[in-house]
Structure 1
Amino acid sequence: MKDHDEETLLAEVAALLDLPEHIGHPLHGALQRLYRQHRDQRQQVERLISISDRYQLLAIEARQVTQQRYERTLRRQRKLSRISDGYQALMRERNQALQQASTHDPLTGLPNRRLVGERLEQLISERRRFTLALLDIDHFKLINDRHGHDIGDRLLVAITQELSATLRHYDLCGRWGGEEFLLLLADTDLDEAQTIVERLRHRLADVTIHDDGQPLSVTVSAGLSQHRRGEPHQHTLKRADEALLKAKRDGRNRSLSATR
């Protein structure tokens, strides 16, 4: 029954119950109790519906508040995740920069003594043969004194580029001192190394930079030593250094191999 029809029926029953001629009717009392019971039940149902509506409204509001909190929390977590990702990326860059700074020369980008030493120890542990060559730029101090350290740095970078372009991919070139470079020629005996260094020495003599339009080039001296099985790499380096000193004493612009 529709609400409108029910209201109409209840109104008719109420009107009948109020008529004086029906008060003494045998069904009057029963109908009146039934009417009141139905009215009470209807009021209870309406209260329950009202309570249910309020509960549903509160549930909807609570769900909306929860959803809003969840979305705020999600946005905050995403923001923190982006910050964390950025921080981790920054830390990786910092660590890479620190690693680069600890193992490479800042001017030339070549491996420094630490990294070269690690590579030497690795070759020794692998029982591989290798030859070392120490290269020194002739009269480099005069270049710095006459042309300034900026020109000296430019010359070092130009020589580094030529070294990197000329050496084999499995060789290692490191900056050993101010104007001194160390070549680690893996799987190479002394005779082959001598050929490589001589070819490299001639190429380095063709490296030219300009200072106020004036061309500037240099020569290099080199000392070589082949590693002996079982000896520390420091001994190999010492023999290469002694050969380099002899090359410089003999007039520079040459390469000599250690004889002992």
Structure 2
Amino acid sequence: MRGPSPLEQEVINLLADPQFEGHPLKEALSQLWGAHHDLLGRIERIARVSDGYQSIARERELSLAARFDKQLRQLEKVARISDRYQMMMQDLNASLREASTLDTLTGIANRRLLTERLREESERAKRYGRPLAVVMLDIDRFKVINDEYGHEVGDRVLIEVVRAMESEIREHDLCGRWGGEEFLILMPESSAEMACTVIRRLGDSIAALGVRVNDDLLGVTASMGIAELRADETYSSTINRADIALLRAKRSGRNRCELAD
């Protein structure tokens, strides 16, 4: 019996991952995986039936034309099953990639995709001597919002902040959810000073948001830290410096951005 293919092993690992529990794609993925095994079983049974027809006794009962016609029908059936199987696996592969790289609440990049792009962009920036800015953004007093208004309102705040980010950042920038109420913005071809101009505008847009809670509008602000990749450091070090700048913005009164030293 053949071993699992790389894609099949990825499905097995994903279904066994505790972090995938409760994911909206879990049930659909499980059903597709079951259908996949059913199809493999059918194909194996068809192959065994086909082998049986190769026996001498069966060949004597059928004319050459009849055997050819029957085998042709068998092959057409297998081909149709294989085509359906390939289409299902393509759909499953697309769903798997979406599930593994996008944040389920906001629809933007998750930490996995951000890390991949950080690695790629930092290598490119160093190779060609181009600037690369990293921005850490944190929603101010988000825990208070969750505690006072509930997590449903908190989720709406996250979604509105993401909309503001997507409308203000440049086309080739990438924003993603780093974790909780913290976001990371990757800005290729941008120095820290250039990024600061965009991020200050983003801060003003977030501060102008009004999330409706019953008859009231809930105001939202964010603090941001900006760091530019250095030639002698890894992207992890750049993120750490942006985090320190973010902490300084928090301690300096929030609703502001700070450049890393």
Matched, 1:205 2:203: no
> Greater CA radius of gyration, 1 or 2?
1
Q: Deviations over 1:159-182 (max 9, x none)?
A: 212212221111011111100110
TM-score by length of 2: 0.69
Q: How does 1:99-248 map to 2 (within 5 A)?
A: 99-126=97-124, 127=126, 128-248=130-250
| In 1: Cα distance, 2:160 partner to 2:73 partner | 52
Q: Deviations over 1:188-246 (max 9, x none)?
A: 01111110000011111222332224322300000111111131111111111011001
C-alpha contact 2:206 2:221 (8 A) present in aligned 1: yes
**Aligned counterpart in structure 1 of residue 89 of structure 2, from 88, 91, 102:** 91
Aligned to 2:260: 258
Q: Deviations over 1:84-105 (max 9, x none)?
A: 2222222122222222222221
Secondary structure of residue in 2 paired with 1:176: strand
| In 1: Cα distance, 2:90 partner to 2:218 partner | 41
| In 2: Cα distance, 1:79 partner to 1:215 partner | 61
| In 1: Cα distance, 2:69 partner to 2:149 partner | 66
| In 2: Cα distance, 1:202 partner to 1:217 partner | 12
Compute the displacement of 1:76 (Å): 4.5
Secondary structure of residue in 2 paired with 1:248: helix
Distance 1:209 1:76, change over 3 A: farther
CA RMSD for the aligned pairs? 2.1
Distance 1:256 1:87, change over 3 A: same
| In 2: Cα distance, 1:151 partner to 1:72 partner | 64
Distance 1:78 1:205, change over 3 A: farther
State the one-letter code of the partner of 1:246. R
* Same amino acid, percent of matched pairs: 43
| In 2: Cα distance, 1:234 partner to 1:209 partner | 34
Q: Deviations over 1:72-126 (max 9, x none)?
A: 5545444433332222222122222222222221111222222212212212222
| In 1: Cα distance, 2:188 partner to 2:256 partner | 22
189-198 vs 120-129, which moves further = 120-129
Ranges in structure 2 where 5+ consecutive residues have no aligned partner: 1-61
State the one-letter code of the partner of 2:121. L
| In 1: Cα distance, 2:167 partner to 2:122 partner | 26
C-alpha contact 1:123 1:129 (8 A) present in aligned 2: no
C-alpha contact 2:137 2:225 (8 A) present in aligned 1: yes
| In 2: Cα distance, 1:107 partner to 1:125 partner | 30
Ranges in structure 1 where 5+ consecutive residues have no aligned partner: 1-61
C-alpha contact 2:168 2:198 (8 A) present in aligned 1: no
Distance 1:66 1:233, change over 3 A: same
Aligned residues: 197
Compute the displacement of 1:71 (Å): 5.5
TM-score by length of 1: 0.69
| In 2: Cα distance, 1:186 partner to 1:70 partner | 62
